[in-house]
Structure 1
Amino acid sequence: MPVTSYSFCETNMTKISTLEIDSYDGTQLQIQIDAFARLLHACVQSGASISFVQPFTINAAKDFWHQKVLPGVLDGSRILLIAKIEGQLAGCVQLDCDTPPNQPHRAEVAKLLVHPAFRRKGIARALMLALEDAARQRQRRLITLDTRTGDHAEPLYRTLGYQTVGTIPEYAKDPFTDTFDATTIMYKLIT
């Protein structure tokens, strides 16, 4: 059963589509690992600064889901929220709750992904709002994240109430070039 569901108009304003946000467990992730790999691969190919650089293969994307995400989803330390439109995987986000014993009140946003074909439709915002609900259910009241400085996601986070702590220069390599981008560290206290 979806966590939340609502309708929105496609860009051409003629077709109504339904966006569903749901939480996936380890079994669901394993069954659909190829779809998650394609989503990640498409985002990296479109220039998303999400830890990967070119060349980036579909097999590397599968390895990421198997090695870095699946163990946390299976042991419950990582929540995977997905967005589907008309049954197709359009995006996802992770809430990492694997924090030290002195930080049981905190969680971190990881890998907010929206497929390039589905951008500018409110999916990222819907995923983040569902992530905040999931954090509340886990009694996590401080959410932290980092994003490439000046990236499209930075204004989104601000409109959702995330505060900027600061920036770190030359934090991560650009996915396509040999340059290094700054990252902006942000947080939000939720009730």
Structure 2
Amino acid sequence: MTFPFRVSLLSAAALANRIDELAEVLVDCVQGGASVSFMLPFSHDKARDFWHGVAQSAAREERVVFVAENDAGRIVGTVQLITAQPDNQPHRADVAKLLVHRQARRGGAARELMALLETEARKRGKNVLVLDTATGSDAERFYLRHEWQRAGEIPRYALNPDGSYCATTYFFKQL
């Protein structure tokens, strides 16, 4: 099943104007159990604070934010490419917070977001991407299906939003 959507890079200025939409996606994912750094209860205000920080980082050109918008122009998914790395790693970038609203999942938004992210990473001279995700999650299976290489797992790395422990799996991809 696919849903009508389009993916794009969101400028730092545009990002600052769409904080509420991004916060809605983040709140939905956390409430749905995604282990993406936040605990329940998780408020819209806390999500807004997170996205304000991301907007500031994007304005400093430390990261790039991509979005998937539905046919009504609402953001239903997002992912970040963190390009600011130490001096000895100019060829590498981190991938963070691939989030798709539960109502828009399984329609190809995550796949298209990641394809656009990889294209942009190449344009910026990045040829190694790194990310981590909750072990055993749908996200882990997604990355395995899309040619990411599993680097290893750390047990009891973080907490799920409900407070239970979860392991994390690290992945990398050579572009």
Q: TM-score, normalised by structure 2?
A: 0.96
1:126 Cα deviation from its structure 2 partner: 0.8
Mapped to 1, the partners of 2:111 and 2:169 lie a distance apart of 18
CA RMSD of aligned residues (A): 1.1
Aligned pairs for 1:108-123 (under 5 A) are: 108-123=94-109
Match of 2:119, as an amino acid?
D
Partner of 2:90: 104
Q: Which has the higher contact order (CA 8 A, sep 6+)?
A: 2
Partner of 1:47: 33
Aligned pairs for 1:148-167 (under 5 A) are: 148-167=134-153
Choose which of 58, 81, 89 in structure 2 pairs with 1:95.
Answer: 81
Partner of 1:79: 64
Q: Percent identity?
A: 42
Mapped to 2, the partners of 1:88 and 1:73 lie a distance apart of 20
Partner of 1:143: 129
Unaligned runs of 5+ in 1: 1-7, 11-16
Work out the number of aligned pairs and report it: 174
Mapped to 1, the partners of 2:28 and 2:144 lie a distance apart of 25
* DSSP-derived class of the 2:150 partner: strand
Mapped to 2, the partners of 1:142 and 1:75 lie a distance apart of 22
Match of 1:185, as an amino acid?
Y
Partner of 1:189: 174
- Which structure 1 residue ranges, 4+ long, deviate > 3 Å from structure 2? none
Match of 2:56, as an amino acid?
P
Mapped to 2, the partners of 1:9 and 1:106 lie a distance apart of 32
> Larger Rg: 1 or 2?
1
Match of 1:71, as an amino acid?
Q
Unaligned runs of 5+ in 2: none
Partner of 1:5: none
- The reply on whether 1:133 has 2:119 as its aligned counterpart is yes
CA offsets per residue over residues 92-147 of structure 1, 9 Å max, x none?
00000110000000000000000011011111111111110010011100000000
